[in-house]
Amino acid sequence: MWAWIFHKFTGWVLIGYLFTHIAVLSTGIPAAGAGEAAIMAGEDVYTQTIVSLESLLLVRLLEVGLLAVAVFHMLNGARLLLVDLGVGLDAQDKSFYASLILTGAITVASVPTFIAGAF
């Protein structure tokens, strides 16, 4: 039951992120017509948007959360695929807990990489 709820929740979070990502990046569309000189001078709207967002600690923490959501969704999706194929039917709960533990390990191991540029 919890595996299904978490899988649906993470799927909706990823869909929400996709639309938010497109909306934020679309603010840099005017930069597509900018010349190379504007980009080199740092007047590029897209580059300024990305640099300003990446300098915020909140954005870095949200990226860590996005990583956790994406990793869990992928691992649980692979687990569900195997269950649908009849592999591991008797160990569904163990494989769910394994996907949770592996998600946590990958996320914790990635935190220094994400947070490093914020300070």
- Under the phi-then-psi rule, with left for phi > 0, alpha for psi from -120 to 50, and beta for the rest, what region is 34? beta
Global pTM value: 0.81
Domain that holds residue 91: 2-116
pLDDT tens digit sequence for 50-90: 888 888 889 999 999 999 999 999 999 999 999 999 898 89
Q: Which amino acid is at 87?
A: V
Closest CA to 3 of 96, 72, 84, 102: 96
pLDDT recorded at residue 36: 64
Q: Using DSSP, state whether 88 is helix, strand or coil.
A: coil
Whether the CB-CB separation of 83 and 92 falls below 8 Å is answered with yes
pLDDT tens digit sequence for 1-19: 889 999 999 999 999 999 9
| CATH of residue 92 | 1.20.1300
Cα–Cα distance for residue pair 47/25, rounded to 1 Å: 10
How many domains are there within the chain?
Answer: 1
The model's confidence at residue 42, banded by pLDDT at 50, 70 and 90, is low
Closest CA to 73 of 113, 115, 16, 116: 16
Cα–Cα distance for residue pair 107/69, rounded to 1 Å: 9
> Residue 7 is inside which H or E element, if any?
helix 2-25
